[in-house]
């Protein structure tokens, strides 16, 4: 039998998940829905019961021509003639199992570190299970939560091996496409996902498996980005900017802001000035309806409260499910333990089309060498220009999205292209909310122009920063106070010009 790991079902006989149903019936339904391989996992039953159930399961899997593996128990696999076993790190060692099992039996190994994965490959494992992807109530004694970034790092370390790979832990319909998409590194991706509760515990296991099968086979909406062949030429990109600004004003996108209370009014005014339609809606359940307008969601955690994170997660999942853009502004990401945890939770909780932040925030999201931030201000820089460009590119590459690192020079990358933007004015740093407004503006452009996310964000950023330059140059602007109304006027002026097809606002300016 060929080893197809794409939809890997792991069984569970605990009443909370099985809910009194017959395991064999559940497994048969799941196979009808597209499950490609089954692992019988039962940590509590007596050996006699294990063998009886495994034997019945084997009749089912044989009927559909897919392999049955037994978790941990090589003896049970032998007794019923299963196609193989799945072994955890504390189970029988690989060589002993290999010796006992017939030639050609499948042996899979659970791994949660690069070392364990390399060892399993050296031993000759047919595939490795990689986990734990996300925290799950199905198995609470897991070793470490890898997330997509950790999984990607592991895949990268073993990318020269053809070994099969399957991720496990907390994978469900809402995150499966992201798991496959974001875990991938250039040289190696996951061959499949292993699911317990989202199929075995589902109301209708067949429908659930069908939905997984469909999601696994189709390209996620957030991944649709076509890059033009001349994409790395900044001049060519700039030529497209005026038309994209015009398109944004025509689309008049809704931008759903989950924003901090300090800057809400200013951010709403900026969105109105550029010709978009802002709504300030911190209540997560509203996203179910709001995402249907096909606008963008901005999650800005500037004034985090005890309820924020669960509200963000609900909205994030609603927009992800619909394939509409989400922007993450991890304000003050490194400032407190609570915020650092919020970053981890949100990064594990959904896909962000754009992550935007200052150096400290982007470093915290990246996860290494994070430094304690003082308050939410940008603070002194510790990275040189080269390092900032590289950090921006590396994070975008890891997350398969776009990253904007803001500062005197802004760095923008989609993982391939890196663009440094020098526009703007020091007054922007003297007024609260300007950075937050860039998140909202980016959302408007990502909603209006979906084929090239980097170009969309670049267009909004240039409109924003050139408007700031124009405002600061007015003779009646004497400082941050008079700058604000002038800035809104200049955003509006560019919007009006762009709507008429006038491109002179950009000429020679970027
Ligand atoms: N092993 P669910 S997590 C069986 O991390 C198992 O090795 C894990 O269940 C590991 O799909 C897990 O319901 C349970 O989240 C996964
Ligand atoms: Mg085990």
Q: In this predicted model, what pLDDT tens digit does every residue of 66-108 receive, in sequence order? A: 999 999 999 999 999 999 999 999 999 999 999 999 999 999 9
Q: Counting atoms of ligand 1 from 1, which one is nearest the CA of 143?
A: 5
Which of the four pLDDT bands, split at 50, 70 and 90, describes residue 228?
Answer: very low
Nearest to 430 by CA among 459, 397, 468, 398: 468
Local structure of 267: helix, strand or coil: helix
Instruction: Give yes or no for residue 132 CB within 6 A of ligand 1.
Output: yes
Please report how many Cα atoms fall inside a 13 Å half-sphere around the Cα of residue 38, on the Cβ side: 35
Instruction: Give yes or no for residue 182 CB within 6 A of ligand 1.
Output: no
Helix axes 234-251, 453-472, angle to 10 degrees: 80
Burial class from Cβ neighbours inside 10 Å (0-12, 13-18, 19+) for residue 144 reads exposed
String of DSSP letters for 122-180? HHT-SEEEE--SS--SS----S---HHHHHHHHHHHTTTS--EEEEESS--TTTHHHHH
Q: Which of 194, 198, 348 to mutate to test the pocket of ligand 1 (most atoms within 8 A of CB)?
A: 194
Whole-number Å distance, alpha carbon 88 to ligand 2 midpoint, is 4
Beta strand spans in 340-446 (E): 354-357, 402-405, 410-413, 418-421
The pLDDT mean for the chain works out to 92
Instruction: Give yes or no for residue 136 CB within 6 A of ligand 1.
Output: yes
Which of the four pLDDT bands, split at 50, 70 and 90, describes residue 132?
Answer: very high
Instruction: Give yes or no for residue 208 CB within 6 A of ligand 1.
Output: no
Whole-number Å distance, alpha carbon 181 to ligand 1 midpoint, is 19
DSSP state, 483?
H
Per DSSP, the chain holds a count of helices (H) and strands (E) of: 20, 16
pLDDT, residue 218, reads 86
Whole-number Å distance, alpha carbon 195 to ligand 1 midpoint, is 7
Q: Is pLDDT of 230 > 70?
A: no
Whole-number Å distance, alpha carbon 60 to ligand 2 midpoint, is 23
410-413 and 402-405 strand pairing: antiparallel
Instruction: Give yes or no for residue 130 CB within 6 A of ligand 1.
Output: no
Ligand lying closest to the C-alpha of residue 150? 1
- Alpha-carbon dihedral 294, 295, 301, 303, rounded to 10 degrees: -110
Instruction: Give yes or no for residue 151 CB within 6 A of ligand 1.
Output: no
Ligand lying closest to the C-alpha of residue 92? 2
Residues bordering ligand 2, an ion, CB closer than 5 Å: 72, 88, 91
Token pair 């008079």 is found at 482
Whole-number Å distance, alpha carbon 139 to ligand 2 midpoint, is 11
Q: Is pLDDT of 286 > 80?
A: yes
Ligand lying closest to the C-alpha of residue 201? 1
Active site residues: 436
Stretch 164-168: mean pLDDT: 98
Q: Compare 61 and 349 and report the one with higher pLDDT.
A: 61
pLDDT, residue 231, reads 45
Q: Compare 324 and 230 and report the one with higher pLDDT.
A: 324
Alpha carbon 270 to its chain's center: 28
pLDDT, residue 380, reads 62
Of the chain, the percentage scoring pLDDT greater than 90 comes to 84
- Contact yes or no for 360/331 (Cβ under 8 A): no
Q: Is pLDDT of 506 > 60?
A: yes
347 to 49, 362, 493: CA distances (angstroms): 42, 12, 37
Range with the lowest mean pLDDT among 129-133, 375-379, 402-406? Answer: 375-379
211 to 25, 27, 253: CA distances (angstroms): 18, 16, 30
Local structure of 388: helix, strand or coil: helix
Which of the four pLDDT bands, split at 50, 70 and 90, describes residue 381?
Answer: low
Instruction: Give yes or no for residue 128 CB within 6 A of ligand 1.
Output: no
In 3-state terms, the chain is what percent helix, strand and coil (to 5)?
50, 15, 40
Q: Is pLDDT of 226 > 80?
A: no
Q: Which of 18, 108, 136, 150 to mutate to test the pocket of ligand 1 (most atoms within 8 A of CB)?
A: 136
Please report how many Cα atoms fall inside a 13 Å half-sphere around the Cα of residue 147, on the Cβ side: 16
- Contact yes or no for 486/271 (Cβ under 8 A): no
pLDDT, residue 61, reads 98
Instruction: Give yes or no for residue 209 CB within 6 A of ligand 1.
Output: no
- Contact yes or no for 316/326 (Cβ under 8 A): yes
Stretch 277-282: mean pLDDT: 97
Token pair 């073993």 is found at 158
pLDDT, residue 373, reads 45
pLDDT, residue 155, reads 97
Whole-number Å distance, alpha carbon 201 to ligand 1 midpoint, is 13
Stretch 260-287: mean pLDDT: 97
Q: Is pLDDT of 325 > 60?
A: yes
Stretch 224-238: mean pLDDT: 58
Strand 354-357's sheet: what is its strand order? 277-280, 254-258, 296-300, 326-329, 354-357, 402-405, 410-413, 418-421
For ligand 1, atom 5, the nearest C-alpha belongs to 132
The tokens describing 46, both together, are 């007596």
pLDDT, residue 390, reads 92
Q: Is pLDDT of 372 > 60?
A: no
Q: Counting atoms of ligand 1 from 1, which one is nearest the CA of 41?
A: 4
In this predicted model, what pLDDT tens digit does every residue of 443-496 receive, in sequence order?
999 999 999 999 999 999 999 999 999 999 999 999 999 999 999 999 999 999
Range with the lowest mean pLDDT among 96-110, 215-229, 352-366, 463-477? Answer: 215-229
Token pair 């019936």 is found at 25
Stretch 141-147: mean pLDDT: 86
pLDDT, residue 369, reads 39
Q: Is pLDDT of 158 > 60?
A: yes
Q: Is pLDDT of 198 > 80?
A: yes
pLDDT, residue 335, reads 92
């Amino acid at each position: 039998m060929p080893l197809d790991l794409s939809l890997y079902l792991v069984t569970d006989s605990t009443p909370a998940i099985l809910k009194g149903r017959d395991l064999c019936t559940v497994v048969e339904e799941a196979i009808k829905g597209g499950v490609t391989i089954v692992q019988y996992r039962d940590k509590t039953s007596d050996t006699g019961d294990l063998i009886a159930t495994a034997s019945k399961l084997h009749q089912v899997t044989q009927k559909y021509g897919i392999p049955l593996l037994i978790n941990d128990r090589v003896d049970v696999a032998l007794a019923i003639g299963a196609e193989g076993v799945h072994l955890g790190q504390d189970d029988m060692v690989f060589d002993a199992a290999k010796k006992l099992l017939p030639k050609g039996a499948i042996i899979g190994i659970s791994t949660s570190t690069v070392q364990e994965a390399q060892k399993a490959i050296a031993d000759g494992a047919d595939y490795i299970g990689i986990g734990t992807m996300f925290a799950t109530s199905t198995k609470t004694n897991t070793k470490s939560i890898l997330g997509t970034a950790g999984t990607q790092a592991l895949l990268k370390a073993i990318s020269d091996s053809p070994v099969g790979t399957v991720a496990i832990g907390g994978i469900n319909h809402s995150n499966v496409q992201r798991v496959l998409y974001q875990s991938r590194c250039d040289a190696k991706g996951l061959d499949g996902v292993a699911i317990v509760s989202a199929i075995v515990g589902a109301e209708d296991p067949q429908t659930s498996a069908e939905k997984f099968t469909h999601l696994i086979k189709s390209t996620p909406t957030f991944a649709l980005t076509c890059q033009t062949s001349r994409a790395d030429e900044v001049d060519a990109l700039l030529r497209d900017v005026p038309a994209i600004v015009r398109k944004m004003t025509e689309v008049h996108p809704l931008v759903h802001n989950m924003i901090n209370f300090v800057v809400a009014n200013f951010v709403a005014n900026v969105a109105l000035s550029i010709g978009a339609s802002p709504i300030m809606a911190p209540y997560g359940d509203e996203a179910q309806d709001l995402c249907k307008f096909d606008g963008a969601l901005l999650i800005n955690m500037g004034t985090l409260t005890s309820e924020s994170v669960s509200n963000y997660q609900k909205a994030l999942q609603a927009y992800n499910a619909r394939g509409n853009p989400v922007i993450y502004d991890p304000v003050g990401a490194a400032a407190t333990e609570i915020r650092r945890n919020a970053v981890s939770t949100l990064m594990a909780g959904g896909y962000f089309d754009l992550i935007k932040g200052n150096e400290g925030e982007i470093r915290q999201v990246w996860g290494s060498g994070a430094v304690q931030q003082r308050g939410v201000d940008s603070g002194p820089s510790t990275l040189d220009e080269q390092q900032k460009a590289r950090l921006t590119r590396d994070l975008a590459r890891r997350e398969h999205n776009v990253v904007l690192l803001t500062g005197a020079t802004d760095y923008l990358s989609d993982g391939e292209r890196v663009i440094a933007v020098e526009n703007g004015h020091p007054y922007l740093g003297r007024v609260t909310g300007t950075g937050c407004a860039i998140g909202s503006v980016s959302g408007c452009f990502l909603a209006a122009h979906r084929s090239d996310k980097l170009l969309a964000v670049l267009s909004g950023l240039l409109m924003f920063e050139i408007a700031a330059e124009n405002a600061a140059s007015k003779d009646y602007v004497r400082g941050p106070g008079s700058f604000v109304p002038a800035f809104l006027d200049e955003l509006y002026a560019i919007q009006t010009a762009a709507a008429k097809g006038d491109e002179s606002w950009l000429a020679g300016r970027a």
